[in-house]
Amino acid sequence: MPKLKTKSSAKKRFKITSRGKVIMGQAGKRHGMIKRTNSQIRKQRGTAVMSKQDSKIVKSYMPYTLRG
């Protein structure tokens, strides 16, 4: 059987934890920060855990990573 290729965009954007959860950067932080409230900007710092349904799709893009 041929090897499966990993999607390069997925390996750059997402990380899989040892428990199998997918970590991603917060959405809505690229531009237009003047429109956002200060509390919104504070809450969007760091990373977020992806939902179960979306993480299933992302894991299919990265076949050889640890799945937990």
Res 44 pLDDT > 80: yes
Q: Does residue 23 contact residue 46 with C-beta atoms inside 8 Å? A: no
- The domains found in the chain, sorted by start residue, are 8-61 (4.10.410.60)
Element (H, E) at 42: helix 38-43
What pLDDT does residue 5 have? Answer: 93
Interval 8-43: pLDDT, tens: 999 999 999 989 999 999 999 999 999 999 999 999
What is the phi-psi region of residue 28: left when phi exceeds 0, alpha when psi lies from -120 to 50, beta otherwise?
left
Strands 47-49 and 22-25: antiparallel
Please state the pTM of the whole predicted model: 0.82
Q: Which two tokens stand for residue 42?
A: 């504070």
